[in-house]
Amino acid sequence: LVHSASQVVTVRNDAKIIAARGQEMRHVDIVEGTEQCGVSVLIDSNGKIAFVGLDTDVAFEFPDVHKEVERTIDARGKSIVPGLVDAHTHPVWVGDRVHEFAMKLAGATYMEVHAAGGGIHYTVEKTRNASEEELYCSLVERLYSMLSTGTTCVECKSGYGLDVDTEIKMLSVIEKARKEVPISISCTYCGAHAVPKGKTSQEATDDVIKHQIPKIRELMSKEELHVDNIDVFCEKGVFDVNQSRRILQAGKDAGMNLNFHGDELSPLDGAKMGAELGALAISHLEEISDSGIDAMTKAGSVGVVLPTTAYILRLTPPPVRKMIESGMAVALGSDFNPNAYCMSMPMVMHLACVIFRMSMPEALVAATLNSAAALGRSGDLGTLSVGKCGDMVIINAPRWEHLVYQFGCHNETISSVIRNGDVV
């Protein structure tokens, strides 16, 4: 039982809403306490939310609550929001690319560094040579860091192997973390993250489709791996639209949701292709066309925007206002990777407000319900609704907006993070 908070913010307390689209993103439901009466959240022994509302009502609905409750967290003067969901990360790798940050500050573009054999290629080499143990330890450390900034569910991609053995090594590391770390994980196979050195993009496409996906599918059928999504970097100089379409279709046939990188650096109309295939989500979208927006909106694909990358690469921001106005469900992700080294969703929300011109409620919806929807998890995550998982963030301030307003100081802003009813 978390009791006597001054505000509990639940992003549309309606189980029927799978994702908030367009104007709906403006609204968050706030249960507001008063001097006399605070607000409470009650979580049952299965870790599910049993009640959200005024203290007087909890006493009425559950008269014996104070006898039965195992643990009470006093949140007086604080506020509560749903656990944050990070819809896009690349958290399995070793080595860093701080030297490339210097190159980019000196004027090199992301694709120049990549074409010269750095970028993803640099990380692939380090990751291929790393042991499973080494990758696992660094992943666990990162997941705990994400938890400390309020993330209770995170999408984790492979994609620094680009060969079947290393991709499976990465997916196995994610699988192990799923069982051992108190954070929900949505696992994404991203074997087509780049064209490996020595191969053409056509050869790499065939390798992914004919060799990697069948092997991963076999491990999925033996329940040795649980892969939720397939990703591809659909970009000029990486995988073109037709190659991306073939890769995504093969993943779909293997039972994976489509969730990929599109229209980031060049306007290839990847969004349109993804919408045609029924993509659950498409990420980046800095270069999305008007017809791409229209196609995604009609198809119900979630647009995952990534402010850290747009910021660090000084890209023109995606047309987020247009996307929201068209009625698209827009979600947020940290895109944590060696290029954009940020694990903090409150920081991402702050950047989304300032550089993508989202309002604070829109950023909260995008970082909870809509990011859960981008992972097909909005039925049990993303809002503080009765029956959903007891995942929440207690904020050290009487108004929830402090989570976005205060930036770069989450230790002071966040008081506790709760997942399935446990303080983590």
- Asked whether 12 and 369 are in contact (CB, 8 A), the reply is yes
- Shortest reach from residue 368's CB to ligand NIG, in Å: 21
Phi and psi angles of residue 279, each rounded to the nearest 5 degrees, phi first = -60, 140
Q: Which CB, 22 or 118, lies closer to ligand NIG?
A: 118
Decide which of ligand NIG, Fe ion, none touches 338; Cβ closer than 5 to 8 Å per partner kind.
ligand NIG
- Please say which residue, 136 or 160, places its beta carbon nearer to Fe ion: 160
Residue nearest to Fe ion (CB): 335
DSSP-assigned letter for residue 332: E
309 binds, among Fe ion, ligand NIG, none (CB under 5 to 8 A by kind): ligand NIG
- Judged by beta carbon, residue 259 or residue 301, the one nearer ligand NIG is 259
Terminal-to-terminal C-alpha distance of the chain:
15
Size of the site for Fe ion (CB under 5 A): 1
CB of 364 to ligand NIG, least distance (A): 23
Do the beta carbons of residue 139 and residue 91 sit within 8 Å? Answer: yes
Which residue's C-beta sits nearest to ligand NIG?
339
- Strand, coil or helix: what is 106? coil
| Nearest-approach distance from CB 50 to ligand NIG, in angstroms | 38
Please, which residue, 38 or 338, has the CB nearer to ligand NIG?
A: 338
Site string for Fe ion, 177-196 (x = CB under 5 A): --------------------
| Nearest C-alpha neighbor of 375 from the set 302, 309, 305, 320 | 302
CA dist 61 and 330 (Å) reads: 36
CB of 104 to Fe ion, least distance (A): 16
- Smallest gap, in angstroms, from Cβ of residue 157 to Fe ion? 7
C-alpha to C-alpha distance for 19 and 296, rounded to whole angstroms: 14
SS3 380: coil
119 binds, among Fe ion, ligand NIG, none (CB under 5 to 8 A by kind): ligand NIG
Q: How far is the CB of 180 from ligand NIG (least distance, A)?
A: 25
- Count of CB atoms situated within 10 Å of the CB of 106: 7
| C-beta closer to ligand NIG: residue 86 or 264 | 264
385 interacts with, out of ligand NIG, Fe ion, none, CB within 5 to 8 A per kind: none
Give the residue with the Cβ less far from Fe ion, 119 or 390. 119
According to DSSP H, which parts of 149-269 are helical?
164-180, 201-207, 213-221, 241-253
The answer to whether 171 and 131 have CB atoms below 8 angstroms apart is no
Amino acid in the structure at residue 359: S
Rounded Cα–Cα distance for residues 107 and 105 (Å)? 5
Min dist CB 88 to ligand NIG, Å, is: 7
> Which of 97, 174, 99, 160 has the alpha carbon at shortest distance from 130?
160
- Closer of 119 and 161 to ligand NIG (Cβ): 119
Q: Which does 123 bind (CB under 5 to 8 A by kind): ligand NIG, Fe ion, none?
A: ligand NIG
The torsion angles phi and psi of 7, rounded to 5 degrees, stand at -145, 140
- CA 183, 345, 378 angle in degrees (round to 5)? 55
Closer of 10 and 188 to ligand NIG (Cβ) = 188
Minimum gap (Å) between residue 160 Cβ and ligand NIG:
7
* 318 to 337: interface string for Fe ion, x by CB under 5 A: -----------------x--
- Site residues for ligand NIG per CB under 6 A: 90, 119-120, 123, 233, 261, 264, 309, 335, 337-339
- In sequence order, which residues have a C-beta less than 8 Å from that of residue 255 and are 6 or more positions away? 217, 220
Phi, psi of 130 (to 5 degrees): -85, 150
The CB density around residue 253, as the number of other CB atoms within 10 Å, is 12
Which CB atom, from 220 or from 306, has the smaller least distance to ligand NIG?
306
Reported as type and span, the H/E element at residue 43 is strand 39-43
- Residue 274 binding target from Fe ion, ligand NIG, none, CB below 5 to 8 Å by type: none
CA distance 330 to 36: 38
User: Based on CB atoms, which residue is closest to Fe ion, 43 or 305?
Assistant: 305
* Smallest separation (angstroms) from ligand NIG to the CB of 209: 20
Q: Write out the binding residues for Fe ion, residues 331-370 only, by CB under 5 A.
A: 335
| Sign of the dihedral through C-alpha 20, 26, 29, 31 | positive
> Closest distance between ligand NIG and the C-beta of residue 95, in Å?
11
The partner in contact with residue 257, picked from ligand NIG, Fe ion, none with C-beta cut-offs of 5 to 8 angstroms by kind, is none
Residues that bind Fe ion (CB under 5 A): 335
